[in-house]
Amino acid sequence: MSGKNAHLANREFYRGKRVFVTGHTGYKGAWLTAILHELGAEATGYALTPPEGGMFAHMGGETMIHSVTGDMRDLAAVKAAVEEAQPEIVFHLAAQAIVNDCFEDPHYAYETNVMGTVNLFEAIRECPSVRSVVVITTDKVYENKGDGAVYVETDPLGGIDPYSSSKTCMEYITDTYKRSYLQTAARTVGVSTVRASNVLGGGDHVKSRLIPSILSSIAAGQPVELRHPHQTRPWQSMLDALNGYLAIGRLMYEEPERYSSQWNIGPTRDGIREVVWVVEQMQKHYTSVEYTGGVYIGN
Ligand SMILES: NC(=O)c1ccc[n+]([C@@H]2O[C@H](COP(=O)([O-])OP(=O)(O)OC[C@H]3O[C@@H](n4cnc5c(N)ncnc54)[C@H](O)[C@@H]3O)[C@@H](O)[C@H]2O)c1
């Protein structure tokens, strides 16, 4: 599907649709909130309190979405929020999404990412208004072949660290709920996972990620420290990833069986670059950016 056409079709489709977004207070969730507001959707969000200094608070997100504060680990609260919203389309973004945080506290990461996803599907199972469910995972769900090859959707799964492994579990949970409860003789709901790569865009509040850490270094007059300057990552625009999520949500609503799948969203080969390339792009705009080959902790 062409990105431009998908964008126009999304604009028509989402006006007046009831949409439920988990993780609406986070980095991607705040952008999705703003876009759904712009498209005229009736959106409800479910997440923890917005982070201080994050984009959701800055942009006045509370005025753009019916914002429910709650924990994905709380089954009763998740069910109550879904029941009240009666959504047609669900986007599941809520997660412990920082690789290092998950490494430090794997129990919380698994509770949130794994059981949080189970809790959401339990709520959806009891909510007949839902027609389309988009579960956001990551390209880190793939078994790392270490050969630099581009992943395709049929490649073997096998994230190893707690973040990647918990996200891999979300893939299996989603498939199980789809096959066992949501695509049966009684009901056909569109259900997909979407595996995007690193996104770049404004408003990232997570200081350990690359762009915020470069900007912090500039502010402090210090060189930015890169742990793996020559590691290659697929960099893409936030808007491309969100436009893809919205298109998949729409297409499954219209033709649930045809479009239910596992989807990669990533850049063209041009966007597959070393970490240091991003720093070099920043150097074009901020002459004070320097880096060392020391420690950069992020994802
Ligand atoms: N940012 C990226 O580059 C990237 C890349 C690939 C995939 N993803 C995935 O996209 C999704 C959103 O990522 P992000 O960058 O916006 O993350 P983020 O950390 O900025 O936001 C996470 C959101 O999840 C919510 N959340 C966390 N724990 C929760 C809990 N226990 N109960 C309820 N809500 C909880 C937070 O309140 C917040 O709204 C995640 O699923 C992440 O794994 C992100």
Q: State the DSSP H helix or E strand holding residue 274, giving kind and residue range, or none if neither.
A: strand 272-274
203: left (phi over 0), alpha (psi -120 to 50) or beta: left
Over residues 17-52, the pLDDT tens digits come to 999 999 999 999 999 999 999 999 999 999 999 988
pLDDT band, very low/low/confident/very high, at 298 (cuts 50, 70, 90): very low
Pocket probe for ligand 1: among 21, 24, 28, the residue whose CB has the most ligand atoms within 8 Å is 28
Nearest CA residue ID for atom 6, ligand 1:
138
Domains of the chain plus CATH, in order, are: 3-198+236-267 (3.40.50.720), 201-234+270-299 (no CATH)
The Å distance, Cα 186 to ligand 1 centre, comes to 33
Q: Considering only CA atoms, which of 162, 157, 182 is closest in space to residue 172?
A: 157
pLDDT at position 223 over 50: yes
Residue with the bigger pLDDT between 215 and 242: it is: 242
Q: Is the CB of 91 within 6 Å of ligand 1?
A: no
Q: Given the structure tokens 């900007």, which residue do they identify?
A: 215
Rounded percentage of the chain residues whose pLDDT exceeds 70: 94
From edge to edge, which strands make up the β-sheet containing 262-265?
66-69, 42-47, 18-22, 89-92, 132-136, 190-196, 262-265
Q: Is the CB of 191 within 6 Å of ligand 1?
A: no
Over residues 242-268, the pLDDT tens digits come to 999 999 999 999 999 999 999 999 998
Pocket probe for ligand 1: among 93, 108, 205, the residue whose CB has the most ligand atoms within 8 Å is 93
Q: What is the average pLDDT across 70-76? A: 98
pLDDT band, very low/low/confident/very high, at 211 (cuts 50, 70, 90): confident
Among the atoms of ligand 1, which is closest to the Cα of residue 204?
20
pLDDT at position 202 over 60: yes
pLDDT at 219 (0 to 100): 81
The Å distance, Cα 246 to ligand 1 centre, comes to 17
Nearest CA residue ID for atom 24, ligand 1:
94
Q: How far apart are the first and last CA of the chain?
A: 29
Among the atoms of ligand 1, which is closest to the Cα of residue 30?
16
The Å distance, Cα 153 to ligand 1 centre, comes to 22
Give the global pTM: 0.93
Over residues 121-171, the pLDDT tens digits come to 999 999 999 999 999 999 999 998 877 788 999 999 999 999 999 999 999
Over residues 98-126, the pLDDT tens digits come to 999 999 999 999 999 999 999 999 999 99
The Å distance, Cα 228 to ligand 1 centre, comes to 23
| Pairing verdict, β 190-196 and 18-22 | unpaired
The Å distance, Cα 95 to ligand 1 centre, comes to 4
52 C-beta neighbours (distance < 10 Å), count: 7
The Å distance, Cα 26 to ligand 1 centre, comes to 6
pLDDT at position 287 over 70: no
Question: Rounded to the nearest 5°, which phi and psi values hold at 89?
Answer: -130, 135
